[in-house]
Amino acid sequence: MSAIKVIKTKQDHADAMERLMALMDIDHAEDSDEDNELEVLSLLIEQYESVHFPMDKPDPIDAIKFRMDQQGLTQKDMKLFLVLPVRYKKRPLSLAMIRRLHNGLDIPADVLIQRITTFLPV
C-alpha cells in the first residue's frame, strides 16, 4: 500500500490518477488494503477535481431530456411531470413541476431551479 496524501498539485493529481488506475486493474478482495486505498484515493481525487475542475450544472430541460432517455420515458409518460411548452423552452418550470420532477424522476432540485438558458419565441 502506497502512502496516501492530500492532493495539492497537478503532479499529485497525476500520481493519484496513475495509482487509482493501477488499483482498478487489481483483482482485490472487498475491504482489503487495496480496496480501502482505492476508496480513499477516489475521494481525494474527487475533492481535488471539484475545486480545480468544477463542472457547470446542466440546463434543467437538458437534464429532464437526459433522464427521459435514461429511463426510456415518452412524451406521454412526462404528462405527469410537466407541460409540453416547458419541454420546448417556451415557458419556465413551475414550483409544482420542479417538485414532481425531483420526487418522481430523482433529478436534483438544484439543477431544476436554475433558469432555463434560452427561451424560444412563442
The pLDDT confidence band at residue 122, using thresholds 50, 70 and 90, is: very low
Higher pLDDT, 90 or 4: 4
CA of 80: how far to CAs of 85, 100, 119, in Å?
14, 8, 22
What's the rounded Cα separation, in Å, for the pair 111 and 52?
21
User: Which amino acid does the sequence have at 63?
Assistant: A
| Statement: residue 90 has pLDDT above 80 | no
Q: Where are the domains of the chain?
A: 10-52, 60-112
Share of the chain above pLDDT 70, in %: 84
pLDDT at residue 4 in the model: 86
pLDDT at residue 86 in the model: 63
Confirm whether pTM is higher than 0.85: no
